[in-house]
Amino acid sequence: MKDASRSAGEFRPATLCVHGSETGPGSPLTPPIVRSAIFRMDDAAYAARAAGHVDRSRCYTRETNPTLEAVEARLASLEGAERSLVFSSGQAALHALLMATLERGERVVAFRQIYGGTVDLAKLLLPRLGVDFERIDANDLAALERLCDERLRLVLCESLSNPLTLVADLPRVAALLARRAPRALLAVDATLASPVGQRPLALGAHLVYHSATKYLGGHSDLIGGVVSGSEERLRPVWLWRTKAGGCMDPDPAYLLDRGVRTLALRLAAQSQSALALARRLTEHRSVRRVHHCGLESHPHHELARELLRHTGGLFSFVVRGGDDEALRVIRRLHLFAEAASLGGVESLASRPRDLSQVGLSAEERALAGLEDGLIRLSVGIEDPADLEADLLQALG
């Protein structure tokens, strides 16, 4: 940014998306792709490594790389964080976060309404670490308080949940942990809200992570993950990224940096279109229920108004006729592709039970509120009138 007298915190999110990583005169306006695996060394580089500053000394791309550093600076600025780290996938980011944080005998608590891949990884990894894994309903502070003891180390939740768009009450959860379990960390999956929709660190979270594949990248052409937080908390996460090899490659890092520049525009348009479609579907005779936190009927509508700048482009609805009819509706759509993932410029439709929540048992799906006949939509940037017409013909 030309006006160096202003700190990043003084700029609004849309500005930070574009101007979050410049380093001063002579730096390229668009950060280049640096594909080199290794870098020339000198006495200063050796001294930095000897002093323990390996992560700041360019030697090997698995440790750091100029292209990664550029997008990490942009993301840290956007999150209001001291530091961000990019990974080869969202799951790699979560894996490093868990490994860097947990020790044998500790406990992890997760909201029941959380990404199925997070649950799958926790079930696979935590028993091997000797870490207990408990699940509670979103914002059930009484249940969380009962689990607050010296063993509680980590609480996992989504700022905006997939696919029911439940809103985590981050200030109250953070306050409870500070009061009853001060060594516990609150880690927030902010994939659906994105940093433009919410900054969890400003609301009391200690760590925030994303699947960068989704809204941050925005074009369904990269796989990546991000963890953001303080320098102190990110140091062990960086160590796990380096030693386990989960760093992002320079090419997707370049695509991610490019995608973030248009995040504010995309998310605003997608949020507006999604809410308009959700309102229209509430009127349709073939639809039993619509889950969108922007609707006044949603149980977390007031939380959404209080804590989110945008409600995002994802929501879900339940059709009459159950899962079979849901699949028939999806396959009658023309503009909504039947595909996994979310947050891209194109609109997508799927049954959560087939994709994001496929690892859950029927009982777990019921506990999480995932009814038969549930369809998840990820709204892109197409003309909203065309998307509405496509939905109506598929339902009709």
Residues noted as catalytic: 62, 115, 189, 214
DSSP per-residue codes, 290-333: EE-TTSTTSTTHHHHHHH-S---SEEEEEETTHHHHHHHHHHH-
Q: Which two tokens stand for residue 91?
A: 């799951």
Residues 6+ apart with CB under 8 A from 216: 75, 194, 210, 224, 226, 256, 259, 260, 263, 343
DSSP secondary structure, 63-79, as one string = T--HHHHHHHHHHHHHH
Say if residues 83 and 228 touch (Cβ distance below 8 Å): yes
| Beta carbons within 8 Å of 237's beta carbon, 6+ residues apart | 85, 96, 97, 100, 227, 229
CA distance 322 to 344: 27
Which among 87, 84, 89, 14 is positioned nearest to 341, based on CA atoms? 89
- Cα–Cα distance between 56 and 35 in angstroms, integer? 18
Which residue, among 316, 299, 300, 58, has the nearest Cα to 162 in the 3D structure? 316
Distance separating alpha carbons of residues 114 and 358, to the nearest angstrom: 13
Long-range contacts at 304-308 (CB < 8 A, ≥ 24 apart): 304/165, 304/167, 307/159, 307/167, 307/169, 307/170, 307/171, 307/198, 307/203, 308/159, 308/160, 308/167, 308/193, 308/197, 308/198
CB 266 within 8 A of CB 215: yes
Nearest to 352 by CA among 365, 363, 343, 333: 365
Please state, in angstroms and rounded to a whole number, the distance separating the CA atoms of residues 50 and 56: 12
